[in-house]
Amino acid sequence: TEGGDQSGEEPGGMSRAWGRGPFLRQERSPVSQVEWPQERHITAGFMVRRVLAAGLLFSLLLGSSVLLVYIFRSCGPRPCRTPECHDLQARYLASGNTSVAPCTDFFSFACGDAKGTKSSFQALAEENKRRLREILEKPGSRHLGTGEDKAFQFYSSCVDTGAIEAEGAAPLRQVIEELGGWRISGNWTSLDFNRTLSLLMSQYGYFPFFRAYLRPHPTLPHTPVIQIDQPEFDLPLKQEQEQKIYAQIVREYLAYLSRLGALLGGDPDKVQQHAFLSISITSQLFQFLRPLEQQQAQEKLFQLVTIDQLQEMAPAIDWLSCLQATFTPMSLRPSQLLVVHDLEYLKNMSQLVEEQLLKYRDFLQSHMILGLVGTLSPALDSKFQEARRSLIQKLRELTQRPPMPTSPRWMKCVEETGTFFEPTLTALFIHEAFSPKTQSAAMELFTAIKDTLITRLRRVPWMDEKTRKEAQDRVTQLQVKMGGPEWALKPSLAREEYNDIQLGPSYLQSFLSCVRSLRARIVQNFLQSFPQHRWQVSTWGVSAYYSISDHVVVFPAGLLQPPFFHPGYPRAVNFGAAGSIMAHELLHIFSQLLLPGGCPACDTHALQGALLCLKRHYQSIPLPGGLSFNGSWTLLENAADIGGLAIALQAYSRRLLGYYGETILPNLDLSPLQLFFRSYAQVMCREPSTWEPQDPHSPPMLRVHGPLSNTQAFARHFHCPRGALMNPSKRCQLW
């Protein structure tokens, strides 16, 4: 406006000056060298006009620049001011360390020093449990007399530690009497061994010598089959363990079993003797296990046998009666096929049981009861729980594993309630935390990721045309399950009756009634015609997965929550966090192709070169002191990490071209693409010491630095100099 006023005065003055003489109408001789006085006046006027014209042009440019600034401010990224964005911004500010150069150590830049930091997935899982707690503790929300009411009652009895402490060990002593008692604390009725074993399996959900469970058959039509596996051992034994460590583990476990016997009123000398024999049995059973590598080498990872055949090979167990009691109402026959994980273990286990029955029948009884007490400890008073907690912590110290975090009582009660009343809590959680708007936004994100993968497959250098077409068809035909199972959307399921659950009079009795009800429901569900995919995670869980047998990818509602996803977040956050997770799971469709011989028609040389490049890329990235990893063991997950980030970035970049109005988080000083990379890294934040070598994923720092340093766009948007950790001279292209 100021420039416009000045330009309005100058033309008028110029017009009056030029109107005083006839010089505009005179011609000058081109050869004239004479400078007339009037000509000097004309030259001065001409200069004034040029100055004023320049001023006018400047005014126009200044006005245009103001307009452009206004346009760019209107169309460029705006700060997100919603409560969800405010919470996310606070989370990012609290977790990161902006004093660290992002090109040198982006893990620290995004995650801070990560000491004491829970895994981002673990933190989200705990947040989901808090939401379930709010549901279960909400006054007046239950429908009396329904299964929903029973779920609320069970949770209330679980958190009522006063009543549990008042009961003490009395409910557990009653259980032991029902099993025939034991010599440790007095009376013992020598029941038939297989009858006791059958009761432990069917009524208490405890399997002392082997595990038996239902699973879908690996081939169509996926009919239910019983699988027999090795038991789960309390002792963290290894095939080749130092004698000193082994002796320390045995001492700690002996002290624990002795403490259990003392809490149940046992004679100290008898307790010590029976505890030692129990450890001896466990140790011998462990020696019967064959390493997984040996089973794979012998191509005997799983074997199909009938109940009759197993009875001949492992005669100490009455297989038909024990399995029939456990899997009622299934009707089992001697010709029933079983899937056996380690047949040699079962043969040796049977021989050991026969020897114990001949010499130490009462010690075998004590071994089974001591194991049961350990599994029931969450339902017992604080003395039993503290004994169990102390054992676990000491064993983790001896095996150089990080301490187990202590969970509050309410969280354990939420977990138990969720296990026993999953249909009810599934419906309630979906209603509370996964609205139709959230589901629609999540499905839109998944569609963008899937479409980008289909496009990207056209340029995978090592695929032949036939494999490429088959791969694209596989992605097109893929089913996606998002939020919760279809049945979870039916409100009536939240009020399921659970007629077979009897609550009280003690919490232990309620707990055991729920154990039996759950077992019966699992069997019943397997017997029903169930054409749809059976979910392998709870709705409030945080684990996505791809099912090979059903060709289904699953993203539970619990995963699609802040800070990974929210409809009100900037798109950069949703694509960087949830989008990269979605792409990661989609790439597991093709994991088989990356294995040796998995794609005979592909360009093997190009594929192996890309995989070798990937291994070297990860090996070149420094790790904190004391950490090492097996690049071959983590290869498939590394490939999915790198490919998942690339696909999510391409999908986000395409979305930026088609949509205006992108937002950013205020006070972070990050552009949309920088925010995308920060959100990806935030998913991987985790204290490095919590990573364990058997994890198929790389250590958390590598899960951040590996994919991001392999992405040229990261170095460009963070202005990383050539040769910096996050801008290496060579990158790998697999997907």
Q: What is the pLDDT of residues 558-588, one digit of tens each?
A: 999 999 999 999 999 999 999 999 999 999 9
pLDDT at 170 over 90: yes
In which band, very low, low, confident or very high, does the pLDDT at 611 lie, cut at 50, 70 and 90? Answer: very high
Model pLDDT for residues 29-70, shown as the tens digit of each residue: 333 333 333 444 444 455 555 655 656 565 555 554 444 334
**DSSP assignment of 6-50:** HHHHHHHHHHHHHTTSSGGGPPPPTT-----HHHHHHHHHHHHHH
Give the bridge partners for 545, in sequence order: 554
| Tokens linked to 626 | 């004391």
Cα distances (angstroms) measured from residue 244 to each of 233, 289, 451: 20, 21, 56
Which of 277-286, 294-303, 384-393, 717-726 is predicted least confidently? 294-303
pLDDT at 177 over 80: yes
Position of tokens 């010709």?
335
DSSP type of residue 576: I
Is residue 134 exposed (0-12), middle (13-18) or buried (19+ Cβ within 10 Å)?
Answer: exposed
The per-residue pLDDT of the chain, averaged, comes to 86
Q: What is the pLDDT of residue 216?
A: 76
| Whether residue 585 lies in the annotated active site | yes
In which band, very low, low, confident or very high, does the pLDDT at 205 lie, cut at 50, 70 and 90? Answer: very high
pLDDT at 670 over 70: yes
483 φ/ψ sector (left φ>0, alpha ψ -120 to 50, else beta): left
Cα distances (angstroms) measured from residue 387 to each of 262, 300, 370, 384, 459: 11, 39, 13, 5, 58
Which of the following CATH numbers is that of domain 83-125+436-476+563-717: 3.40.390.10, 3.30.460.30, 3.40.50.620, 3.40.30.10?
3.40.390.10
Which of 183-197, 284-298, 515-529, 677-691 is predicted least confidently? 284-298
pLDDT at 208 over 80: yes
Strand ranges, E, within 139-201: none
pLDDT at 82 over 90: yes
Contact (CB, 8 A) for 105 and 725: yes
The one catalytic residue among 252, 416, 422, 641: 641
* Bigger pLDDT: 639 vs 145: 639
pLDDT at 541 over 50: yes
Task: Quote the CA–CA distance of 21 and 553 in Å, as a whole number.
Answer: 90
Q: Establish whether the linkage from the previous residue to 37 is cis, with ω within 30° of 0.
A: no
The one catalytic residue among 585, 637, 662, 669: 585
| Portion of the chain with pLDDT greater than 70, in percent | 83
What's the pTM? 0.82
| Whether residue 192 lies in the annotated active site | no
Read off the pLDDT of each residue in 501-512 and give the average, rounded to a whole number.
94
Model pLDDT for residues 420-460, shown as the tens digit of each residue: 999 889 989 999 999 999 999 999 999 999 999 999 999 99
Position of tokens 């004994």?
387
Residue spans per domain, the chain: 2-75, 83-125+436-476+563-717, 148-420
In which band, very low, low, confident or very high, does the pLDDT at 408 lie, cut at 50, 70 and 90? Answer: very high
pLDDT at 404 over 90: no
* Bigger pLDDT: 42 vs 707: 707
In which band, very low, low, confident or very high, does the pLDDT at 290 lie, cut at 50, 70 and 90? Answer: confident
CATH architecture of 148-420: Orthogonal Bundle (1.10)
Contact (CB, 8 A) for 61 and 30: no
pLDDT at 682 over 90: yes
